[in-house]
Amino acid sequence: MVKVSFVCPIFNKEKYLPNVLNALKNQKGEFKKEYVFVNDGSQDNSLECLKSITKKWKNTKIISQTNKGPASATQKAIDLSTGDYIKLLGGDDVMSEFCTKVLLEVMTKNRTVAVFSRYELLKDLNKIKFKNQIPLNLRILENPLKKTILSSYSGTAPNLYCHKTIKKSGGCNLKLFIEDFSLVLGISKYGSFGFIDNVTSCGPSEDPNRIMMGMQTQLIHDFNAALYYFFKENEKIPDHIKILACKKALGRTEKWARRLKKQSIFNKMNLLKLKLFLGNKNYLSLIKQSCLYFYNNFNDERIRYKVV
């Protein structure tokens, strides 16, 4: 029987943990379970709540560290995991009871290295109504690197990953704050991805402490930085893929500068896009510039783990 390791980094999630852990404990399916939690320097009562709720759980590990961010906490948990598959779980994400079962079925039947499902944001997590216990509209992507760059595949609770493949790829990039895109980007070299349309998990829609809401600048920066480190470590990736990555990174930063920081259309990112169009082949430098631009004086948000 295969084993699934549930990996859950936690930072100040006390008010969500009862629902999150209840859904985790009630996961259906014929597989062994292992639970690995990393308390990433929480300043509320998350650790006490976690210990209290899981005190009678078997195969459970709880580790605490000073706050280093989700990439560090997630990778530490992965390193301590012994399962065949890694099921990431955010500290405020509530899973359907069939979430893991459905994802595992897709992965084992199609021999993919990752499976992605859908995720919803809700105002009230007590009004969750999951449905569809069988995979819906299954698609298999055989060579996912290009689409991973273009579509920025990422995510935690809605997805399942092959542990051996994570080990091959090196896992989450510890030079970043955000964990999931660097993880997916790394494993995209090693096998196919599966996609289904089932909504398998959800999270709070109006919590400013969620990274996707309260730390948009950090998120966008880290998506670009993940590309920079990936190509720095994989120099033999074909140029046409690097060009796509440059366009994506420069375009992402340019939109951020105009929409969130009210910069003019005549900004450095558009100049770099022009240079790329005219044949500049210093792709790594171009992607790096898309990261360094976040550190200009107009940025009033602190970026953790800057590219140097």
* Confidence (pLDDT) at 300: 61
> What CA–CA distance (Å, rounded) separates 227 from 283?
11
Q: Residues 35-75: pLDDT tens digits? A: 999 999 999 999 999 999 999 999 999 999 999 999 999 99
Lowest mean pLDDT among 50-64, 87-101, 202-216: 202-216
3-state secondary structure string, 56-103?
Answer: CCCCEEEEEECCCCHHHHHHHHHHHCCCCEEEECCCCCEECCCHHHHH
Beta strand 114-122 with 159-162 is: antiparallel
Name which residue leads in pLDDT, 127 or 85: 85
Mean pLDDT estimate for the chain: 93
Mark out the alpha helices in 111-238 (DSSP H runs): 145-151, 163-169, 180-187, 211-214, 216-233
* Confidence (pLDDT) at 132: 72
Tokens of 118: 């859908």
Four-residue CA torsion sign, 32, 34, 35, 38: negative
What residues are paired with 7 via a beta bridge? 36, 88
What pTM was computed for the model?
0.94
Conformational region of residue 152, where left means phi above 0, alpha means psi within -120 to 50, and beta covers everything else: left
* Confidence (pLDDT) at 125: 76
> What CA–CA distance (Å, rounded) separates 72 from 78?
10
> What CA–CA distance (Å, rounded) separates 219 from 228?
14
Closest CA to 221 of 10, 69, 7, 93: 69
Q: Residues 152-208: pLDDT tens digits? A: 999 999 999 999 999 999 999 999 999 999 999 999 999 999 999 999 999 988 777
Tokens of 184: 């997916």
> What CA–CA distance (Å, rounded) separates 207 from 74?
21
* Confidence (pLDDT) at 63: 97
Cβ atoms within 10 Å of 258's Cβ, excluding its own: 15
Closest CA to 283 of 223, 217, 220, 238: 238
Mean pLDDT on 288-304: 83
> What CA–CA distance (Å, rounded) separates 120 from 124?
11
Cβ atoms within 10 Å of 118's Cβ, excluding its own: 15
3-state secondary structure string, 260-273?
Answer: CCCCCCCCHHHHHH
